[in-house]
Structures are given as C-alpha cells and as structure tokens.
Structure 1
Amino acid sequence: MARVDICVCTFRRSFLAETLRSIALLDRGEYEIRVIVADNDAMPTARELVREAAREMPFPLQYVHAPGANISIARNACLDAADGDFIAFVDDDEVVGREWIRALVEQAQATGAAAVLGPVRAVYGQNAPGWMVEGDFHSTLPVFVNGTIRTGYTCNVLVRWSPPFRDVRFDPALGRSGGEDTDFFNRLVALGGVIAFAPDARVEEPVPADRATMAWLVRRRLRFGQTHGMLLGGSRAATAVLAASKVGYCCAMTGLTAFSPVKRRRNWLRAVLHVGVLGGLIGVRQRAHYGEASSP
C-alpha cells in the first residue's frame, strides 16, 4: 500500500477550506493518505480553519506552523513533516478532482519517475476578457523539450520521496521572489530524476479578478523569464545573444499578428519572457511578490 502525504502551503487564504473539502472527497483507492497544511503566516491564522476541516476529513490532517512569509520555508516544513512514499503538492487556491491522487501515483508507478506533473485548468469568471478565456492564458501544463520535461511546478505534482530525492529542499533565497519550484525540480533532474505527466490528474484553479488582467500576465512572464535566466548554465554571453534575438523575433510577430487579440498578446508575452531571461542573466533582482497578501 503506497503512502502519500498531500501537502498544502497557505498564507492568509480562506479558499483553503475549499481545497481541503475537495481533498476530503478523493477516491483514495488502496493508498494510505495523510494531509499536511503548512501555515506560512507570522501568526497561526489558518489553525482554526484546519481544525474545522479535520472534523470532516477521512484522512489524518496535520497542521504545521511555518512562519516567515516565504513559500520555501512552508514547503520545506511540509517535506520535513512528510514520511510517505510519495509527496503531493497542491496550492491553497485550487480544488482537486476525485481521481487526482490515483492518476498521479499510477503514472509514477508505471514510469518510475521521480516526479509526476498534472494539469491545472483555469476557471474564469464571467467578467474575464474574451481574449483571455479564448487563449486560456492561466492554465498550467508542463513544457516538453524534445519529448522531455526538464523542470516542474508545485501547483499539481507528486514527488517520489526516497533517496536521493529525499534530501532536496526549496531554496529560501527564492521563497519570496519566485523560482524556488524551478530550482527544486532542476536539482531533482540533476540527481537523475525523470519527470512524467499524468493528464488525468486534473486540478482546477479559479482566476480572481486581480489576476484577470494583461498587466498581471506580463509581471508573471517577466518573473518566469528572470528565474530561467538566473538558473541557466553555460556561456551567458551566448545565451544573452540568443535571448535578445528571441525578443526581436517575438516583437516582430506581435506586430504581424496585431489583428488577432489572442495571438498578439501571446507573442508579446513571449517577448516579455525573453526580456526576463536577459534580466536574469545580468543579475537584475526579482521583485518580492509572495507574502504581500492583505491582513485577514
């Protein structure tokens, strides 16, 4: 019987209750499941919510106070508390499908992968712009390069929790700016780990109004690019030249696709991504964005 620890990091987000309700409805199959919630707030603001959720949870539910307003601290607290064969991460603004854990574990067992990613489908509100809904700019899927997934994300993932992967941790230096998950999976792959994809391990994420804007998408792509540039190895000069050429190409494509609301924005966001890569290569400091939520 596989043992799975489901980890949820939270920071002043009431939607956590919905996330935990969806986990409670999981088809656990033959797996032994435990849930760990790491509260990243300075005060244990999520403790009572977790205590209430535990009354309806069919699995053990452990609360961990991991203060610091630094997502790496919360994720590492989950890793330190975990003792299962696998660890799953899902965000505190998502809901999981009934077959979520089953699909992830079955893919891990079938492939022997060190990590298995699942898709995150964005759920848009009625006021979201038409071009955003049509282009589905917020959903998350793995990126395949020559048929291989080279890095991952923590909003829907299962990690095989055995040596040598058991020693990998999230970098606190990236825990407020972002990129800690990219760094984590890069090191997992460097240890020989393979990342697989389970298309049936679906998770849904409602898109709040403050994220349903082009400005938010631009900031997000810029940060992704900065992280990628910062972590790249090899000749930085050659990489910078390549990134600059991609910026020029994407800008040209933005002009050529000006007639299409979706294609124009998609090309512009690609240009912004490569601008971020240039910034990461030359050491432009990333803006801290995590831990800035308003008081409960």
Structure 2
Amino acid sequence: MTPSVSVVICAYTEQRWDDVLAAVASVQAQSLDPHELIVVIDHNADLHARLARALPDAIVIENQEARGLSGGKNTGVAAATGEVVAFLDDDAVAGPEWLRTFAEGYADPEVFGVGGLTLPWWATERPRWFPEEFDWVVGCTFTGRDPGRVRNLLGGNASFRRVAFALAGGFPTHIGRTSARERPLGCEETEFCIRLATRRPGARFVYDPRAVIWHRVPVARQEFRYFRSRCYAEGLSKALVTRSVGVANGLSVERRYATAILGRGVARGMLAAWRGDPAGLRRSGAITAGLLSTTTGYAVGTFRGLTAGTSR
C-alpha cells in the first residue's frame, strides 16, 4: 500500500518569492498527490502573511522553534499527518515522479528514509573550474554517490517515515543553517540519520536517483570565494556531528570520499588537462583547495569543542 506523504518546504526570505512559488507548483504537479503541503516560515511575519494569502491550498505556518532550517523542519514534522514526511528546498523544483519514487521506497519496512538526486540549476552556466565531486557545496548530489543504501540522506531532497522522529527526536538546532548572513553550516540531516540508526538498529536509508530535483545556484555561489567558505563551514559542521555521534560514525563515509572519490577527481582533472582541457588543472586544484579548507574547518571546530569542554 502506498504511504501518504506530507511535503515540507521551509522558507525565510522574500528574495526567494518566485523560487518558493516554483517549488510549490512542482509539488502540486506530482504524479502522486501529496497528502498535504506544509510551508514553514522562519521568523518572518510579513512573509508568512503574504504566502498564506498566495497559497490557499497549502498549510502555511510559522517556525515554532529556534531560528534556522532545523527548527523549521521540526515545526513542519510536528504539523505533518502523513506516514512519510518529504523535504524540498525552497529554491528547488521537483520532477513529476519525485514523490512517487519516494513512496515506492517504503515498501521495505526497514527503510526509514529515502533520498533523491539533486542536480544544479546554474544561474549562468557551470564554471569550468567547479569539480562535480564538490557539487554538495551548492546543495547538490556529488559525483561518486552510488545508488542504494547510504549512511545518511542529503537534506534538501529527502524523506523519512514520520515515526522516525518519535524514535530519534528532531533535527539538531545547534547544527545547520540559522541565517543567510552567517556561515553556511549544514549536516543536520547527517546527524539525524546516524542518531536514528543508533536508536533503531536495522533502519536503512536509501538513495534513489530517480527522485530528481533541480536546485538553483545563484551567481554568488558560483564564485571560488563561496566554494572555499562553504568547504570550511562543512568542516566546522562535521566537527559538531562527530561531537554528537562520535568520530567513527561521523566520518566513516567522509574517509572514503576523501581518499577514493577526490583522488579519482584529481587524476581525472589532470588527464583532461593533458588531453587539451586547461580547466582540468583548475578542477584538480579546486578539489585540493576544497579538501584543505574542509579539513581546516574540521580541525578548528574540533579544537573549539575541546576548548569549550575543558573550560566548563
């Protein structure tokens, strides 16, 4: 039997007005109708009032927790009544089979989460220096992520059984984005998946690339400065995750990513340069710079955690 699926979209700024409407329209055009569509507004009363008027067929509510994406998601989960809760970024649009693919993934009772493929929707065109291995920097699926069972899902294109939140609690509000003006932290879904798997042994998460969405990448996020900043912030986030769930769980996937996937990416860029594509060297350099920035962020975040622990 196909489970009912509630969709949650978290929004926070009027600057993404058209994006939010496009995201909502893509949900309303699904081949499988959502059980309900919940739009959570992050501490912005004007935006809440405006969207409530513009979206009469959606449930438009205000974030009842701390400012930020985690609080907004938790508020959406609390309001949801479907058997499954799916999350879509407010600056993304879903393909027509997105929800149906998610729902079919729950035929196995041990599957507690299903995620999909997120493709970049570049404002101009893909920068030639930007390595596909780092598409996670702009909220998309990186090259090297294999379909099937995964340790964790990626938050902007993911779904979970609603009972999972009763088992493990909500997304951690001390991890993840809190403001567009602050460092672009993340990993709230990583910590949640690891915590759920610990509290519900046997729970599985599946990545199914047939559940496709397109995530908008504005010009500012196509710049190397943002690339480096986002990598550093990811390192800080990983330090928070490992502090919560331990190093073994928190970095098990990242070790393979750094050694195998990034290693192949550097080699591929150098080979492309040898074959006449000068941007190949730039991609190899960006991979190295991204790894160094992430590692530095992790080291700084770990040191801060140790310092905070000893000062208590």
Tell whether the structures are fold-level matches, with TM greater than 0.5: yes
- Preserved contact between residue 10 and residue 39 of structure 1 (Cα < 8 Å): yes
- Preserved contact between residue 225 and residue 274 of structure 1 (Cα < 8 Å): yes
* 1:219 and 2:221 are equivalent in the alignment: no
- Preserved contact between residue 168 and residue 195 of structure 2 (Cα < 8 Å): no
* 1:188 and 2:187 are equivalent in the alignment: no
Q: Which residue of 1 aligns with 2:29?
A: 25
Instruction: Write out aligned runs for 1:240-259 (5 A).
Output: none
Letter in 1 for 2:303: I
Letter in 1 for 2:43: D
Give distance in 2, aligned partners of 1:100 and 1:127: 25
Q: Which residue of 2 aligns with 1:153?
A: 154
Q: Which residue of 2 aligns with 1:141?
A: 141
Q: Which residue of 1 aligns with 2:5?
A: 4
* Aligned residue among 280, 283, 289 for 1:268: 289
- Preserved contact between residue 139 and residue 156 of structure 2 (Cα < 8 Å): no
* Aligned residue among 91, 97, 118 for 1:93: 91
Instruction: Write out aligned runs for 1:44-123 (5 A).
Output: 44-54=46-56, 57=57, 61-66=58-63, 68-110=66-108, 112-123=110-121
Give the direction of change, closer, same or farther, for the CA distance of 1:36–1:136 in structure 2 (3 Å limit).
Answer: same
Partner secondary structure for residue 24 of structure 2: helix
Higher helix share: 2
Could you list the structure 1 runs, at least 4 aligned residues long, displaced by more than 4 angstroms after superposition.
133-136, 142-145, 163-167, 256-259
1:276 Cα deviation (Å)?
A: 1.8
- Preserved contact between residue 44 and residue 65 of structure 1 (Cα < 8 Å): no
Give distance in 1, aligned partners of 2:235 and 2:229: 10
- Preserved contact between residue 39 and residue 59 of structure 2 (Cα < 8 Å): yes
Give the direction of change, closer, same or farther, for the CA distance of 1:130–1:115 in structure 2 (3 Å limit).
Answer: same
Give distance in 1, aligned partners of 2:108 and 2:36: 22
Give the direction of change, closer, same or farther, for the CA distance of 1:32–1:100 in structure 2 (3 Å limit).
Answer: closer
Which ranges of structure 1 fall in alignment gaps of 5 or more residues? Answer: 286-296
Query: Residue deviations 1:195-224, cap 9 Å, x none?
Result: 101110000012101111111111111111
Number of paired residues?
267
* 1:282 and 2:303 are equivalent in the alignment: yes
Partner secondary structure for residue 108 of structure 1: helix
Q: Which residue of 2 aligns with 1:36?
A: 38
Partner secondary structure for residue 290 of structure 2: helix
1:270 Cα deviation (Å)?
A: 1.5
Partner secondary structure for residue 170 of structure 1: coil
- Preserved contact between residue 114 and residue 195 of structure 1 (Cα < 8 Å): yes
Partner secondary structure for residue 222 of structure 1: helix
Query: Residue deviations 1:144-202, cap 9 Å, x none?
Result: 69x85222221000101125755521122225243322222221221222110111000
- Preserved contact between residue 74 and residue 171 of structure 2 (Cα < 8 Å): yes
* Aligned residue among 179, 184, 187 for 1:179: 187
| TM-score normalised per structure 2 | 0.74
Query: Residue deviations 1:34-56, cap 9 Å, x none?
Result: 101110024241332343233xx
Q: Which residue of 2 aligns with 1:293?
A: none
Give distance in 1, aligned partners of 2:247 and 2:21: 45
Give distance in 2, aligned partners of 1:114 and 1:128: 34
Letter in 2 for 1:65: E
- Preserved contact between residue 107 and residue 197 of structure 1 (Cα < 8 Å): no
* Aligned residue among 15, 20, 34 for 1:16: 20
- Preserved contact between residue 164 and residue 196 of structure 2 (Cα < 8 Å): no
Give distance in 2, aligned partners of 1:49 and 1:181: 26
The percentage of counterpart residues that share the same residue type is: 20
